[in-house]
Amino acid sequence: MKVARFRHDEVIRFGIVDGADLVVLAGDPLFAGFDTTGERVPLADAVLLAPVIPRSKVVCVGKNYRDHAAEMGGEAPAEPLLFLKPNTSVIGPGDVIVRPRQSERTDFEGELAVVIGRVAKDVSAEKADEYVFGYTVANDVTARDLQRSDGQWSRAKGFDTFCPLGPVIETEFDLDGGARIVSRVNGEVRQDGPISDMVHSVADIVAYASAAFTLLPGDVILTGTPAGIGPFVAGDTVEVEITGIGVLRNTARDA
């Protein structure tokens, strides 16, 4: 099912998408399960928000698609290359990405995002699926020039608004179902790659990350981007779509 976090009548709640409606949940399903209030809200009357606010961190994997590693001038690392984005970088569908004045080149990177559902530490790849609440769409926005000049990636990938997430969390997403990541700028396709091209699988990434960090419910893992990354400018609309989850759409402006 598709879980949304939404605002309606100035109140923020969670719901399950059912046709053109949201079935309202009694609480945050990550912590309170799927009890419903009996209420329905038309999707058209709701503003969808980031479906999860990571409780402690966004863990990201760099160069996890060979064709993207090649376009960056290298090979995919033998082990997952991890970095973090602060949870303050998260925005939701429809929110504005702010291009920082410190950067001349801000890029989109369409990615599959894993939402962690249970406290995970030293989880095996075989059991990783038990710790996954669901999947959503992410844009790993990157100040490409600062990524190069800083030498490490915290600032370049950590600016406010640099982690759009949404529009929903799909709890039954099929990793082996042929899903593709498609990114568009102003409607023009820039990235189109199958998630099956990932070098390190979701299970391996959860295991590898949880061997380093305790993952908390609501933490999010971005699993890397296929080839075709590129810049966007103020006024552009950037979309990332993943089959079976939905379209994450944001516009951009300059700071």
Site residues for Mg ion per CB under 5 A? 109, 140, 225
- What tokens does 242 get? 């993943």
Q: For residues 183 and 65, what is the distance between their CA atoms, to the nearest angstrom? A: 15
Pick 225 or 250: Cβ nearer Mg ion: 225
Residue 150 CA to its chain's centroid (Å): 24
To Mg ion, the closest distance from the beta carbon of 220 in angstroms equals 13
- In the complex, the smallest distance separating the C-beta of residue 136 from Mg ion, rounded to whole angstroms, is 15
The first and second tokens of residue 71, run together, are 């376009």
Of 2 and 57, nearer to Mg ion (C-beta) is: 57
Residue number, 140 or 170, with CB nearest to Mg ion:
140
Nearest to 251 by CA among 97, 109, 118, 99: 97
Compute the least distance from the CB of residue 83 to Mg ion, in Å: 9
Nearer to Mg ion, 50 or 229 (CB): 229
Q: How far is the CB of 194 from Mg ion (least distance, A)?
A: 17
Cβ-contact 64, 199 below 8 angstroms: yes
Name the residue nearer to Mg ion (CB basis): 46 or 163: 163
Q: How far is the CB of 173 from Mg ion (least distance, A)?
A: 19
Of 109 and 170, CB closest to Mg ion: 109
- Pairwise CA distance, residues 209 & 240, whole Å: 24
DSSP notation for 63-88: S-BHHHHHHTTS---SS-EEEEE-GG
| Phi, psi (rounded to 5 degrees) for 114 | -100, 130
Q: How far is the CB of 61 from Mg ion (least distance, A)?
A: 7
| Beta bridge partner(s), residue 113 | 136, 222
The DSSP output letter for 60 is E
For residue 178, the minimal CB distance to Mg ion (Å) is 22
* E strand residue ranges, the chain: 2-8, 11-18, 21-25, 36-42, 47-49, 58-62, 81-85, 90-91, 96-99, 106-108, 110-116, 132-139, 142-143, 163-170, 180-185, 188-194, 220-222, 230-232, 237-242, 246-254
Nearest residue to the partner Mg ion, using Cβ: 140
Closer CB to Mg ion, 17 or 225, in the complex:
225
